Amino acid sequence: MFTIRDQQLKLLLVQRAGEPYQNMWALPGGFLDIDEELEACAKRELEEETGIRGVYLEQLYTFGSPNRDPRERIISVTYYALVPSDRLQLKAASDAADVQWFALDQIPPLAFDHQQIITLAHRRLAAKLDYSTIAFQFMPETFTLSELQTVYEILINGNLDKRNFRKKILALKGIEEAGGLRRTGNHRPARVYQLKNPERVDIIK
Amino acid sequence: MFTIRDQQLKLLLVQRAGEPYQNMWALPGGFLDIDEELEACAKRELEEETGIRGVYLEQLYTFGSPNRDPRERIISVTYYALVPSDRLQLKAASDAADVQWFALDQIPPLAFDHQQIITLAHRRLAAKLDYSTIAFQFMPETFTLSELQTVYEILINGNLDKRNFRKKILALKGIEEAGGLRRTGNHRPARVYQLKNPERVDIIK
DNA sequence: AGACCATAGTGTCAAAAATACACAATGTCA
DNA sequence: TGACATTGTGTATTTTTGACACTATGGTCT
């Protein structure tokens, strides 16, 4: 689960309670129920560990090397999720210490092959930036164009030209003015926008 | 497993010997051994049913709806493969009748949710055409630019301008002259090319 | 040997898209 | 009411993409 917070791309990790890899950090996850859809399982596990639901979720890859879990053969069907920054109140179901957001460049050593999973998810996310509107999934219900630009700049880790960025984004026709202005300091307030189809990730170009 | 044959994109199907869905056509596949890598399993099953190996193979998606197999809960980690047209001698391990190539628009009713899997694979292949050199995986060891163009035209189901196509392909720097000419009829012979990195699929642009 | 045939191979111009770039407008705050 | 900080806007240049037609070459036939 990715989010953007404190001007950084962050990732949710949980601290393992039991063996193996006790006390190490790991990706949230768990076992599939016998009559459960794969995606439903991912959503359930995420909600159980974080209380968050209704976020963008996409199947990433299935990992199944024979010895990736020391106990027994485990196949992991992995998903990644994107959460808008205004919805990351965790703690509905878990206590503070064992679930935490980590900046992507400050990930501690992880249990199992979870670092590899993160690397793949990050690459996928970066790739999708170029040809989809996936970045919109990080935005709260309403936002300004400057806020959106900041999100893009964090994701690509570089600067963008304000005029060109606005031209490109508005040409996508994916957002519309929500009406009203956002006041955030002693300067001109910004127009507020919203997604036309909040659930939808479009492929562009 | 996709290939291009008779100027068409074709797909390999096998006819089921036993229940359920007896005698219906289905995708090649089988069960994972307990100590087997997922990708090794896909390769093994493919080779067992077709005798073909060493082809481009990529994990597609994992399907796991509770009732997709009437017998019991089955999770299918699916892969798709691309085979050059000069390597599709089947029959190493199977008899003629129960393994066959089908044009993509002439797929018979399939067992399980296999039609859905094919649809996804086809979409993925089409998408990758735009931003990778995946189409090269359909080419035999050596080929002419006209042959390559024909493959692209079949895949996108449309015509391409010869000069622009050549410009674009050569700009990718992925192929080089193999030396020599290919004579195929009463007309000027064509230069022969080969991939610089036959295994590699590059992401472009 | 020469004519004809079929496909290979090649360059330029126009249109569209991407990029670089600077200043006026507006609400807040002191 | 003036200073401040950020919003919002247009044009010119470069790059990329797309349209388009003729010559080159070896084979085949007479």
- pTM for this entry: 0.94
Best residue in B62, B69, B78 for a mutation probing chain A (most A CBs within 10 Å): B62
Q: Which residue has the tokens 């080969």?
A: B194
Nearest to A169 by CA among A205, A201, A133: A133
Mean pLDDT estimate for chain B: 94
Residues B87 and B171 grouped into a single domain: no
- A109 with A159, same domain: the answer is no
Shared domain check, B184 and B114? no
Question: Residue A59 and residue B59: Cβ atoms within 8 Å?
Answer: no
DSSP string of B151-168?
A: HHHHHHTS---HHHHHHH
Residues 6+ apart with CB under 8 A from A43: A53, A57
CA distance B64 to chain A (A): 6
Could you write out the DSSP letters of every residue in A117-153? HHHHHHHHHHHHHHHB-GGGGGS-SEE-HHHHHHHHH
Q: How confident is the model at residue B4 (pLDDT cuts 50, 70, 90)?
A: very high
Q: With respect to residue A121, please indicate whether it lies within any of the assigned structural domains.
A: yes
**Rounded (5°) CA angle A203-A62-B1:** 75
Q: Are residues A120 and A178 both part of a single domain?
A: no
Residue B7 is encoded by which pair of tokens? Answer: 């100027």
Instruction: Give chain B positions within 8 Å (CB) of A64.
Output: 32, 37-38, 77
pLDDT tens-place string over residues A82-134:
999 888 776 655 555 689 999 999 999 999 999 999 999 999 999 999 999 99
Which amino acid is located at B103 in the chain? A
DSSP letter assigned to residue B116: H
| Phi-psi category of residue B185: left, alpha or beta, with phi > 0 → left and psi -120 to 50 → alpha | left
Dist. CA B30–CA B25, nearest whole Å = 14
**In this structure, are A65 and A107 located in the same domain?**
yes
pLDDT band at B51 (very low <50, low <70, confident <90, very high): confident
Cβ contacts of A32 on chain B, cutoff 8 Å: 64
- For residue A183, give the nucleotide whose C1' atom is nearest its CA: C27
Token pair 């017998």: residue: B71
B104: which DSSP letter?
G
Position A25 scores a pLDDT of 97
Residue in A37, A59, A62 closest to B65 by CB: A37
Phi, psi for A114 (deg, rounded to 5): -65, -30
Taking contacts as CB-CB distances below 8 angstroms, the residues of chain A near B126 are none
| Domain coverage including residue A170 | 134-195
Domain C-terminal end among A130, A163, A180: A130
Length of chain A: 205
Q: Are residues A65 and A119 in the same domain?
A: yes
What's the pLDDT score for residue A205? 84
- B59 confidence band (pLDDT: 50, 70, 90): very high
Q: Considering all nucleic acid strands, name the nucleotide whose C1' atom is nearest to the C-alpha of residue A146.
A: D7
Q: Which residue is nearest to nucleotide C25 (CA to C1')?
A: A188
Instruction: Give strand D nucleotides closer than 7 A to any protein Cβ.
Output: 3-11, 17-21, 24-28
Q: Give how far Cα A200 sits from Cα of A86, A137, B49, B99, B134, Å.
A: 19, 9, 40, 40, 27
Which residue, B75, B103, B131, sits at the end of a domain? B131
